[in-house]
Amino acid sequence: MFTARHGLNTLVVDAGRSILRRNAHLENFPGFPAGVNGRQLLDLLEDQAAEAGCEQVTATVTSVENTESGFAVETSAGDHYRTKYVVAATKNEVGYLEDVDDVGIIDRGKAFVDTDERGRTGVDGLYAAGRLAEKPHQAIVCAGHGAEVGVTILEDDGRPFYHDWVAPEGYFTDRDRELPPGCEEIDEAERTNREARSLETMRERFAEPHPDEQLTHPSLGEE
């Protein structure tokens, strides 16, 4: 989301198998005092990514390979992509990275990718986020680390970036400061419009229970 909001073409490849789909009721994600339906949260995140400018496809990444300018990515749908950066954010699956030279894989019964604290691997342009980068297996921790990795990419790409912040009109400029890169000032009318849109969106989203059924662990099978 951060990369898309700041000028990088961003593609999200999602197999649709997030463990949040198995969650009965998510009760530790900040901003939802009474908890939230995990499937609803995933839908909201997808909508927000689209609003930020991300392209999204439903598929599984089957291979990532080094190229002279970055990486070649292939999916289960037979699509091929060329990219300067890759963020691996699967839970513990690393097979699709086996053709990437010099990527460090850690085996502790489950597989992880060796990274620094910002999600960088030993391969330029390859990052890992969330559980795959050995972060605690909690939705908010993984979401926060994903955001940090996004900001790290902006820094590594040399994008002018201070922080992603929508400020009230005059917050910077009335103090004779230039508007920092990544920031935006909006007047009261625009603030009111954005708040009204957000209220309408949330009312619509939470007016009825989410239609998708909770999934169960694959080992339990289907009756």
C-alpha 39/C-alpha 208 separation (Å) is 13
Residues 29 and 135 in one domain: yes
3-state DSSP assignment of residue 176: coil
Residues 88 and 6 in one domain: yes
Residue 75: pLDDT over 70: yes
Domain membership flag for residue 215: no
C-alpha 9/C-alpha 53 separation (Å) is 8
Residues 104 and 198 in one domain: no
Mean per-residue pLDDT of the chain: 96
- Number of independent structural domains in the chain: 2
Residue with the bigger pLDDT between 124 and 222: it is 124
Residue 28: pLDDT over 90: yes
Residues 91 and 137 in one domain: yes
Domain membership flag for residue 7: yes
C-alpha 202/C-alpha 81 separation (Å) is 34
Domain membership flag for residue 95: yes
Domain membership flag for residue 220: no
Q: CATH code at 46?
A: 3.50.50.60
C-alpha 199/C-alpha 37 separation (Å) is 18
Contact yes or no for 28/41 (Cβ under 8 A): no
Q: What is the pLDDT, as a whole number, of residue 222?
A: 56
Residue 82: pLDDT over 80: yes
Residues 116 and 171 in one domain: no
Residue 162: pLDDT over 90: no
Residues 118 and 51 in one domain: yes
Please, which pLDDT band fits residue 3 given cuts at 50, 70 and 90? very high
Residues 155 and 122 in one domain: yes
Residues 190 and 125 in one domain: no
3-state DSSP assignment of residue 184: strand
Q: What is the pLDDT, as a whole number, of residue 58?
A: 96
Residue with the bigger pLDDT between 44 and 160: it is 44
Residues 108 and 195 in one domain: no
DSSP calls for 95-160: GGGTTSTT--EEESSSEEE---TTSB-SSTTEEE-GGGGT--S-HHHHHHHHHHHHHHHHHHTT--
Residues 150 and 169 in one domain: no
Buried b vs exposed e over 21-58: b needs ≥16 C-beta within 10 Å? eebeebeebeeeeeebbbbbbbebbeeebeeeebeeee
Burial class (CB in 10 A: 0-12, 13-18, 19+), 149: buried
Domain membership flag for residue 223: no
- Tell me the per-residue pLDDT of 164-222, one tens digit each, with 9 for 90 and over: 999 999 999 999 999 999 999 999 999 999 999 999 999 999 999 999 999 998 888 65
Please, which pLDDT band fits residue 160 given cuts at 50, 70 and 90? confident
Residues 19 and 124 in one domain: yes
Domain span at 94 = 2-161
Domain membership flag for residue 34: yes
Pick the last residue of a domain from 161, 180, 200: 161
Domain membership flag for residue 213: no
Domain membership flag for residue 109: yes
C-alpha 8/C-alpha 82 separation (Å) is 14
Largest distance between two CA atoms of the chain: 67
Residues 33 and 47 in one domain: yes
pTM equals 0.93
